[in-house]
Structure 1
Amino acid sequence: MTFTLEQLRGFVAVADELHFGRAAARLKMTQPPLSRQIQKLERAVGAQLLERDNRRVTLTAAGTAFLTEARRLLTLADTAPELARRVSSGASGLVRIGFTAASAYGVLGELLNDLSRELPEVDVDLTEMVTREQVAGLLKEEVDLGLARPPFDEETFGSRVLHREALLVAAPVGHRLLALGRPATASDLSGEPVVMHSPTKAKYFYDLVAGVVPIATENIVHTVSQVLTMLWLVAAGRGVAFVPASAARLAIEGVGFVRLETPTPEPVELHLLWARDSKNPALWRALAALERRTDGT
């Protein structure tokens, strides 16, 4: 047997007033139906909740314990419709964000601050993922929003440019490239040992660098996928590396930076990425809140 919300409200009123007459008046009903509600509730619970006689009403030990849960259930019942409306509108809920390691160098924190300020009741769950993992996660509905590198399937995914930045050459402190006083060119880098991006795990950066600087295979001393790893190898004197300008914020000891001459001043792009058919209302509210950050600047 189950109990109803009306029975719970009747029980809480009697527990508050410790008097059936006053409780009935508070509920705008007569005393006999209130008494029947309590009896039905006790049968459903399987325990006596109230001691009553002609002079007084008291709570049993079971009634005292049940009162706490009854109040909690009534609070949930009262707030659930509003919560459902807020989740449906996107004002509450959860947005799961996948992000590349390099996007955490400043951009991610600013984005999270914007979301916290604009949508304080939306929770955010973070997962570090390379772009191809984000694409798979969006397709499987494991994440809602990505901070990823292009290109993307435009029929399946929506995207906006979140951030653009320059491409830098990272070199050991004291290296001749750091004393150029101008952006480094492809000819300046001829013959330099290079810590290169992986053509599979960091394909975006590999293609970007290869399109600007022809690097001979024999000059590639290491191939890695993470910018932080590149910088530690540069600090150890293993070679030079090509990194986004935001990587300079890491301030790795023994590493200096010089801008790389590129056809466009800020060729490195980071995009917001989402599945066009997402059913998560909070995602669309998050995108609206972040719109001013995605003006391509």
Structure 2
Amino acid sequence: MLTLDQARAFLAVAEERHFGRAAERLHMTQPPLSRQIQKLEKTLEVTLFLRESRGVRLTAAGEAFRDECRQLLEMAERAPRRARLIASGQVGLVRLGYTAASGLSVLGPVLARIKEAAPEVAVELHEMVSAQQLESLRSGAIDIGLARPPFQLEDVESSLLLTESLVVAVPSGHRFAQRGGSVSGWELRHESMIMYSEQARYFRDLVADLVDVHADQVAHTATQILTLVALVGAGHGVAVVPRSIQHLGMPGVEMVPLHESPPDVVQLHAVWLSTSTNPALHHVLPLLEDPVDAAFSMH
């Protein structure tokens, strides 16, 4: 088996093309170096050098072996450093779960923060609703999520990334959009509503707290916010959605402020397990301590 000392000795001779100079470089005398190279050639059953009066010359096999030895030594030098970087979390993989709506707001800025401060940490993305993210945290399928509260899971920690208001998505040309200003929940009582299904309980409950929606108003229900907006664009009704959805720019849909909505009623958190042993996760967590500025504006 080739040792690192043998590789260094061979490479010194290969680069110096002279046993004497190679021995000086290795801080040893020439005879043991010559014996070491002879032993290596015997072990490999290959002639690596052609001995000449003024030095040595590599054989074809020697040139190929030289290239392999260089790679071997470079890897040997990198390995300890990489191990230290992985242990410190500066190199590694973070699996991140995110909701479709968060992909329109905080996901981009979060990835930018990680790329800038931890460029050697790879981020693997998984789109899933908040409930699935919590299940995936528990099973170990993801390391961190961008999810909506509540987080009723042992050892879950969270950091608030974004707050925003709710707005009313209406078809283009709708009277609410034409008149300007906000719309009240009371004004929605005669509208066909696209509502959230049981699987989207967070937004369903938020809307129910602000708007009195009767069962006979509900035209359709859906889990994904993007589906609600698409149904609005297709003329099936109006929907109450988070303000960040305006960045989607879906044709045929306009956003109108909801009068009853507080500016911070919608929350999005980074969530993770405090028991995680992934060094890369703990390296990026400080990057998520401050909220993301989504720079929302209504038009």
Q: Equivalences for 1:1-297 in 2 at 5 Å? A: 2-153=1-152, 155-179=154-178, 181-200=180-199, 202-262=200-260, 264-293=262-291
Deviations 1:235-288 (A, max 9, x none): 111111121101011122221111223463221111001111111122112111
Secondary structure at the counterpart of residue 3 of structure 1: coil
List alignment gaps of at least 5 residues for structure 2: none
Secondary structure at the counterpart of residue 155 of structure 1: coil
Opposite residue 291 of structure 1, the aligned amino acid is E
Task: Give yes or no for contact 1:196–1:206 (8 Å, CA) kept in 2.
Answer: yes
TM-score (normalised: structure 1): 0.90
TM-score (normalised: structure 2): 0.90
Opposite residue 270 of structure 2, the aligned amino acid is L
Distance 1:204 1:47 in 2: 71
**Number of equivalences:** 294
Q: Return closer, same or farther for 1:263/1:65 CA change in 2, 3 Å cut-off.
A: same
Task: Give yes or no for contact 2:170–2:238 (8 Å, CA) kept in 1.
Answer: yes
Distance 1:272 1:5 in 2: 46
Q: Return closer, same or farther for 1:233/1:68 CA change in 2, 3 Å cut-off.
A: same
Secondary structure at the counterpart of residue 151 of structure 1: coil
Task: Give yes or no for contact 2:95–2:123 (8 Å, CA) kept in 1.
Answer: yes
Opposite residue 112 of structure 1, the aligned amino acid is L
Task: Give yes or no for contact 2:159–2:288 (8 Å, CA) kept in 1.
Answer: no
How far 1:52 sits from its partner (Å)? 2.7
Q: Return closer, same or farther for 1:51/1:114 CA change in 2, 3 Å cut-off.
A: same
Opposite residue 174 of structure 1, the aligned amino acid is G
How far 1:55 sits from its partner (Å)? 4.5
Secondary structure at the counterpart of residue 168 of structure 1: strand
Distance 1:276 1:150 in 2: 17
CA RMSD of aligned residues (A): 2.2
Deviations 1:157-203 (A, max 9, x none): 11111000111110012222324644333221113212222211x23
How far 1:44 sits from its partner (Å)? 4.8
